Structure 1
Amino acid sequence: MNFSSWPLLLVVDVEGNGTNPPDLVEVAALPVRDGRPDTSTAGTWLSKPRRPVTPFAARVHGLTNEQLESEPGWEEIAAQVHTFLGGSWICAHHAHVDYRVLAAHLPQWQPAGVLDTLRLAKATYPGLSKYTLDALIEHVQPDLSAAPAQRHRATFDAYATAQLLIAMAVRYDTWDQLVAAAVPPGLPGAPEPEEEPTLW
């Protein structure tokens, strides 16, 4: 895989307040450049949700209402996040979730395409019993020594997802092959289905 052929790609992860639909409390966007996560230019935002963080959500990601009390509301940072994401490709684990939540919070935003490491892992490592982020970390054993924060924080999960993406991408020869394996149907960037030949 020639990583220099990749378009601008941001690995994203979001954390919510536990309601349905969720209010965002953390967003991370980590560029992948030349086959490496570039933490020096990553974007990270904390946001005070409109509705309180549920006890369950706080237990998962560790962000409490007290910690978020002094953070800006989403409307104060939405433009920053939108500008940072721009029209680049994004990648996430179980990307439908992150893409839909971000798109709901950024109605004018449209990425060039959406890679899903869950879909990619099923194509790359057929036969695993689970394809959760934790299961893939255990299977691939990526180097997470430089990952910020801890598991279930957006910054950590974006970093882990980036390392998994890079580890799987080396098994594909071209960007187009990677896209064919990693972009779920119906999401931006999905290859057009080949037309069935018409029999006359």
Structure 2
Amino acid sequence: MDFGAWPRLLVIDVESNGANPPDLVEVAAIPIVAGRPVPQSARSTLVRPPQPISAFATRVHHITNRAVADAPRWESIASAVHAHLHGAWIAAHNAHVDYKVLRRHLPAWQPAGVIDTLRLARATYPDAPGYNLDVLLAYAAVPLTGISGQRHRAGFDAHAAALFLLDLAGHYPTWKTLTAAAVPPGLLGGTALDHEERTLW
């Protein structure tokens, strides 16, 4: 794999308040440059949602309402997040979820393309015992010792997904073959959007 041929790519993760539709409580993005995640250039922030974080959501990501009490509201950081994501490919595990939440919060934003490590894992590891990120990280023996933070926080999960993406990339000779397996149907970077997708937002 020629990592020098990769476009600008940010591996992202979002955490929500558990509402329907969900409001962001944390967002993180870590770049991959020359075949490596660059944690020094990662960006992550808590967000104070308009509605309280549900008890169920807190049990998953351990972010409490008290933790976000002094965090910025989305409106105050949306333009900065948009500028940071502008022009980049994004990658995430089960990426359509993160993409949909971000698109709802940033209606004018479109990534250059979307890579789904879940979709890519199904193509790469058909015999994996499961496709939860924890199961896949263990199955592929991806080392996580250098990641700061904890699982189910946006910064940790983005970094872990970045390492897993690089593990998966080792099975593909080119960026083109990787994206052919990794881009979900109807999302940018893959097949053309159909009419339903074009009018979703």
C-alpha separation in 2, matches of 1:148 and 1:21:
29
Give the fraction of aligned pairs with identical amino acids, expressed as a percent: 55
Specify the alignment match of 2:144 in structure 1.
Answer: 144
C-alpha separation in 2, matches of 1:137 and 1:170:
15
C-alpha separation in 2, matches of 1:102 and 1:148:
24
Deviations 1:135-184 (A, max 9, x none): 10110121211212100000010011000000010110000000000001
Specify the alignment match of 1:48 in structure 2.
Answer: 48
Specify the alignment match of 1:37 in structure 2.
Answer: 37
Give the alignment of 1:1-200 within 5 angstroms. Answer: 1-191=1-191
Structure 2 runs not aligned, ≥5 long: 194-201
Alpha-carbon RMSD across the aligned residues, in angstroms, is 1.1
C-alpha separation in 2, matches of 1:180 and 1:135:
24
C-alpha separation in 2, matches of 1:40 and 1:170:
24
Note the C-alpha offset of 1:129.
Answer: 2.9
Specify the alignment match of 2:199 in structure 1.
Answer: none
Note the C-alpha offset of 1:192.
Answer: 5.4
The answer on whether the counterparts of 2:61 and 2:153 sit within 8 Å (CA) in structure 1 is: yes
Q: Give the TM-score normalised by the residue count of structure 1.
A: 0.94
Structure 1 runs not aligned, ≥5 long: 194-200
C-alpha separation in 2, matches of 1:125 and 1:150:
25
Note the C-alpha offset of 1:130.
Answer: 1.0
C-alpha separation in 2, matches of 1:57 and 1:132:
18
The answer on whether the counterparts of 2:147 and 2:156 sit within 8 Å (CA) in structure 1 is: yes
Deviations 1:40-65 (A, max 9, x none): 11111111000000011111111100
- Higher Cα Rg, which structure: 1
Other structure's SS at 1:176 match: helix
C-alpha separation in 1, matches of 2:16 and 2:109:
19
